[in-house]
A and B are shown apart, each in its own frame.
Chain A
Amino acid sequence: MNFQFLFDNFIGLTVTGLAFGAIYALVALGYTMVYGVLQLINFAHSEVFMYGTFAVAWVFVFFHGTVASTESLGASLGLLSVALVAAMLVSAAIALLLERVAYRPLLTRNAPRLMALISAIGASFVLAEAMGLRNRFAAWVGLDDDLDNYVAKARDVYPNPVTIQPQGLFTVGGYTVKDVDLLVIVAALLMMVALDQFVRRTRFGRGIRAVAQDPESAALMGVNSTRVVQVTFLIGGLMAGAAATFYMLKIGATRQNAGFILGVKAFTAAVLGGIGNLRGALLGGLLLGVVENYGAAIFGTDWKDVVSFVLLILILLVRPSGLLGESLGKARA
């Protein structure tokens, strides 16, 4: 119990907590949107995120090689934006593939929802293992020498070769806010607002809400529900790709199972805010990131995850449908 540490570093803990929370929130969007539309937990979403992190690392390798070059955030901004686009594209492609291969065959057959869960777990294994075996696959086609930097040490931690040095921007209450944290928080918030407006204001957003509320009536009214589901997965993938970029910026390394725990956390964030609710995902993510950081300060880092799960259970006991427990379908324009 180290409350003194918490009080001394309150602002610093809050800022880094918010940065992590923003990453959780971006991943949580994928869970919450798919849940809103299909009422199922997309267990493989964590792997969508994981592919994004590799896309970021690969972009860095492609432009810089594996020679460590330490640059400031400002100087790396160009590279970073290329990585962001690449990660979003890769994650979105994986998410669409997932929808096509793991979900649509089941949805068209009206399989029970639990079976879709099993299919998602299977897909999650396949995706993670495929990434863990990338050196073997490259060897099959005889490209392992050419791709050495990309496939090396397939199951080990894959470092981000370009370490971007965070620099202090300004000081609040004795804590110097770093550019990395600020960038992550602001960018994530902007994306959330954009997505929220997309769902609330556009024609497609209306389609998504209609399917979330009542799939059958929506279909009768001429909403192409297959297309809506696809777009849902696409958006989830895009957001996971963005989260992956920020994650690589903050953590700087990934591996084939990096998505698993983060996925559980992000899903926790989604449930915390009220699953199926976009703003809930943001609130849940930020809250989780901050509380977890405080908890780590008070009880020690070993208890960080315990704090977040205890928080989850406590909130669900008081509000069984999450903090903002209305669903995607009920959100009015």
Chain B
Amino acid sequence: MAGTSTMNPVARARMRLHDGWTRQPRAVRLLFVVLLALFFYALPLMRPPILTTQQTDFGGIMFSSAALALVAVGLNIVIGYAGLLDLGYIGFYLVGAYTTGVLTSQHFQWPFFLVLPIAIAVTMLSGVILGAPTLRVRGDYLAIVTLGFGEIIRLVVTNVEWLGAAAGIKDIPHPPTIGPSPKPPFGDGGLFTIPQLTWDGLIPSIDPDRGTRFLVFGAVDAIPYYWLILTVLILVMIGDKLVKNSRVGRAWEATREDEDAAELMGVPTFRFKLLAFAMGAAIGGLSGSLFASSQGGYINPLSFPLLLSILFVAAVIVGGAGNRWGAVVGGVLVAYLPERFREFADFRLLVFGLALMILPVYRPQGLLPPARTIRAKAAEKEIELLEEGELAEDGVVASGTTSGMSTTDDETGEGA
């Protein structure tokens, strides 16, 4: 394996895993992925001991983790692929949520699944409207412009009466229930009940008091929402993979690495940056829309603080910008950790801050950096070693050169 000799043990193990994975037949890989997905669908029902949160509803935490993972995957397109630091992503999330709120409850009574694509389209449009003038601005200037944009949108919804102002929008409808709708106190609705597990130490048993009615969306149980958003997440990730591996994805990467060079090589960088912005915005709007209809069905401007926007960015970068699995991991961690440690209630943000400070020291590329970054770093280190050791034995230099030069042209470098 080219360049592996200078990697640290963790990276080398990951590369080996990655190579082993790509060598498996397609059917085996597919089977494994399906099993993994099934595991995640079943997770909130299994309520495994250490993972389960005691003081808050586990299904709800799973929902918010998956929701943040979805946001992170969307933001990863903007930050990780196209290299545009967007601190105002909350703005798109908000636009999606408010479009849904206005069209389903505040001024119109349209059904949720009709509004969902409209919300996505509106957010995408807002991404283009923001991006078209501002994408000429680069780097940290872009960061502050987007931050300002997020704040403007938040302040507008706080002050415009038509959008509910500070009171927000309530009674946003849930997605329609599949099967008979619940009629309390006699019928639970849905198609059937799936029992949940309860654990006594490490011994699971079926909990007769607790069950999830299959596909009843409502304020009572978050698990159907979790299933919905997990499905959406999987679809988005498939789409993300296709786009990333296409001409568009390569254009993004070229733009991120060196904008001027990419432009000179004939990549219309502005158009691709705008596309990244619009696609990221669309996914943000999608998750905002799902958020608006989830559970309580209530949104107000306080649901979209600027801090949340910064947490989104933290999720992407902690996970490893440029790797969609990294984004998922980062999103889940940022949503899950503070809830898991709720017993430290007051101190959880302090601990979270410390974690954010410690992580960059030990994992400067994020938890799951893209495979290409790992290889590039290893190759760089190897070249550096070669330059320093040029006076060393010829044999070492020669063998080192051959392995150092043959890096990553044929491999797509995709994160596992």
| A contact set with B: CB distance below 8 Å | 35, 39, 41, 43, 101-102, 105-106, 109-112, 114-119, 121-127, 129-130, 133, 136, 260, 264, 267-268, 271, 275, 302-303, 305-306, 309-310, 312-313, 316-317, 320-322
Contact = CB atoms under 8 A, between A and B. Distances in A.
Describe A's contact surface by its main secondary structure.
Answer: helix
Main secondary structure of the interface of B (DSSP, over half): helix
A268 B321 CA distance: 26
A111 B134 contact: no
A119 B357 contact: yes
Contact of B140 (A35, A119, A130): A35
Interface of B: 79, 85, 133-134, 136-138, 140-141, 143-145, 147-149, 151-152, 155-156, 158-159, 306-307, 310, 313-314, 317-318, 321, 346-347, 349-350, 352-361, 364-366
25 contacts: A35-B140, A39-B140, A41-B140, A109-B364, A114-B317, A118-B360, A119-B360, A121-B313, A122-B353, A122-B355, A123-B353, A124-B353, A125-B352, A126-B353, A133-B346, A260-B306, A302-B155, A305-B151, A306-B151, A312-B144, A312-B148, A313-B148, A316-B137, A320-B138, A322-B141
Nearest to B354: A126
A272 to B, nearest CB: 9
Contacts of A121: 310, 313-314, 353, 356
Nearest to B318: A118
Given A118-B356, A122-B352, A122-B358, 10 more contacts: A39-B140, A102-B357, A111-B361, A122-B354, A122-B357, A305-B151, A305-B155, A309-B151, A317-B133, A317-B134
A80 to B, nearest CB: 32
Contacts, number: 128
Given A118-B314, A125-B356, A309-B152, A41 B137 contact: no
Contacts of A39: 140
A275 B356 CA distance: 26
- For the complex of A and B, list the 8 residue pairs with the smallest distance between their C-beta atoms, beginning with the closest: A122-B356, A125-B353, A111-B364, A309-B148, A122-B357, A126-B353, A115-B360, A129-B350
Interface hub of B306, B353, B354, B358 (most chain A Cβ within 10 A): B353
Contact of A112 (B136, B346, B365): B365
Given A305-B151, A313-B134, A129 B360 contact: no
Contacts of A43: 310
Contacts of B136: 317, 320
A37 to B, nearest CB: 14
A268 B148 CA distance: 8
A130 B366 CA distance: 26
A114 B85 contact: yes
A309 B158 CA distance: 15
Nearest to A155: B346
Contacts of B354: 122, 126
